């Protein structure tokens, strides 16, 4: 009996050691890091949310894969892997934690919506830095949100793709934060996106 329980304890220790651990390095902003934090929180995995100060960035920059953050460090047994680029990180974590599609086609659709959101974010960032966001609020956001709203309507179950939450749903929810004070008013026109956002934010772990 004692030998058996020793074996169980050994198995538990080995299992714990072989579980990957994650460290996300990003500034203490939402921007490109927050939706990854959402995904990690959802996963329940052990992760270190390494928020760095702008003044510490220059020293850290050369140690990163592309001189940019976010970067995800994955420790798997004795392997250490660093992944840069927020969508690559999100897709990887999604594949580990059931937030990706059931097949290649679903994955492609999720990637497509994720990529469109990424483009939107890049363009909004650029416009924001030039103080030229009016076109965004009058045309670009509404047009893109309509694509996402139409997709939600077509899929019919509150999610963008398939039958359950995917990383692109989490990304979309996070994107709505960039609407700032205009968010509530804006989302009145997009009830399905609003419902998705509320659903994501009420998930235990993310809430």
Partner 1 sequence: MVTYKLYYFNMKGRGELIRLLFAASGQKYEDFRIEKNDWPEYKAKSPFGQAPYLEITNGKKTMILSQSVAIGRYLARKFGFAGKGDEEQAMVDMYGDQISDLLNEFAKFMMEQDETKKQEIFQKLQNEIMPFHMKFFEAKLAQSKTGFFFDSGLTWIDLYLFNLLGLLGDQRNQLFEHFKAVKNLYDKVSEHGKIKAYLETRPETAM
Which residues contribute to the site for partner 1 (CB under 8 A)?
65-67, 74, 76, 79, 81, 83-85, 87-89, 91-92, 95-96, 104-105, 107-109, 111-112, 114-116, 122, 143-144, 147
Is the CB of 95 or the CB of 138 nearer to partner 1?
A: 95
Nearer to partner 1, 77 or 204 (CB): 77
By C-beta, is 89 or 200 nearer to partner 1?
Answer: 89
CB of 151 to partner 1, least distance (A): 8
Q: How far apart are CA 127 and CA 139, in angstroms?
A: 13
Question: Least Å distance between CB 111 and partner 1?
Answer: 4
The Cα–Cα gap between 63 and 81 comes to 13
Give the contacts of 143 (CB within 8 A, at least 6 positions apart). Answer: none
143-180 burial, b if ≥16 CB within 10 A, otherwise e? ebbeebbebbeeeeeebbbbeebbbbbbbbbbbbebbe
Our CB check for partner 1 shows the closer of 5 and 131 to be: 131
The DSSP output letter for 17 is H
Q: Whats the size of the chain, residue-wise?
A: 207
Least distance CB 190 / partner 1 (angstroms): 16
């Amino acid at each position: 009996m004692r030998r058996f329980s020793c074996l169980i304890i050994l198995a538990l220790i080995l299992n714990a050691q072989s579980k990957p651990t994650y460290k996300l390095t990003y500034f203490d902003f939402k921007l490109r890091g927050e939706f990854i934090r959402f995904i990690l929180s959802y996963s329940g995995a052990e992760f270190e949310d390494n928020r760095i100060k702008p003044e510490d960035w220059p020293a850290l920059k050369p140690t990163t894969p592309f001189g940019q953050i976010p970067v995800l460090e994955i420790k798997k047994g004795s392997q250490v892997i660093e992944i840069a680029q927020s969508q690559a990180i999100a897709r990887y974590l999604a594949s580990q934690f059931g937030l990706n599609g059931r097949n290649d086609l679903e994955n492609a659709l999720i990637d497509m919506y994720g990529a469109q959101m990424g483009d939107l974010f890049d363009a909004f960032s650029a416009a924001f830095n030039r103080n030229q966001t009016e076109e965004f609020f009058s045309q670009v956001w509404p047009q893109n949100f309509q694509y996402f709203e139409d997709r939600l309507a077509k899929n019919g179950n509150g999610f963008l793709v398939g039958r359950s939450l995917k990383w692109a749903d989490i990304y979309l929810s996070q994107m709505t934060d960039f609407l700032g004070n205009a968010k509530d008013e804006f989302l009145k026109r997009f009830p399905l996106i609003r419902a998705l956002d509320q659903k994501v934010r009420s998930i235990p772990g993310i809430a």
